[in-house]
Structure 1
Amino acid sequence: MNTPNPENKLIEGEDFYYTPEGYKCFTEKYHLKRGYCCKSGCRHCPYGFDKKANTIKKK
C-alpha cells in the first residue's frame, strides 16, 4: 500500500504560491528541495536554466 508521507507535503507560501491567473508557481526553495532542474523554464529556477537557449547557466 502506498501511503502519503506527511514530510513531502507542499506548504503554500513556502514551496509554492498561486498566481493571479490561478496557477501554482513553485518557489526557489521548493526547487532546491527537489534537487534538480526539470528544464521547464520555471519562473524561480535556482539552476539558471534558459528555456530559449536550452542551457543551464553556471552561477
Structure 2
Amino acid sequence: MKKIIPIEEGDFYLSEEGYKVFTKQYLLKRGYCCESGCRHCPYGYNPKTARRK
C-alpha cells in the first residue's frame, strides 16, 4: 500500500487548462518516479526513451 502524502502549499499549481500540475517539491516528497513523464520530474525520467538519466 502506498503512503498518503498530504498536499501542502507549493505542491501543485493549476495549468491553463485547469489540471493540477505537481511541482518538484511534491514529487521529491513522494519519493519515487511514476514514469508518467511528469513536467517537473526530479528523477530525470524521459518518456521518449523510457529511461531515467
Q: TM-score, normalised by structure 2?
A: 0.86
2:15 counterpart (3, 19, 25): 19
RMSD: 1.4
Q: Which ranges of 4 or more aligned residues in structure 1 deviate by more than 2 Å?
A: none
Percentage identity across aligned positions?
58
Once the two structures are TM-superposed, the CA of residue 11 in structure 1 deviates from its matched residue by: 2.4
Which residue identity lines up with residue 47 of structure 1 in the other structure?
Y
2:8 and 2:16 map into 1 onto residues whose CA distance is 18
Greater CA radius of gyration, 1 or 2?
1
Q: TM-score, normalised by structure 1?
A: 0.78
2:27 and 2:6 map into 1 onto residues whose CA distance is 14
Listed as ranges, the matches of 1:29-44 within 5 Å are 29-44=25-40
Gaps of at least 5 residues in structure 1 are: none
- Which has the higher relative contact order, 1 or 2, with Cα contacts under 8 A spaced 6 or more apart? 2
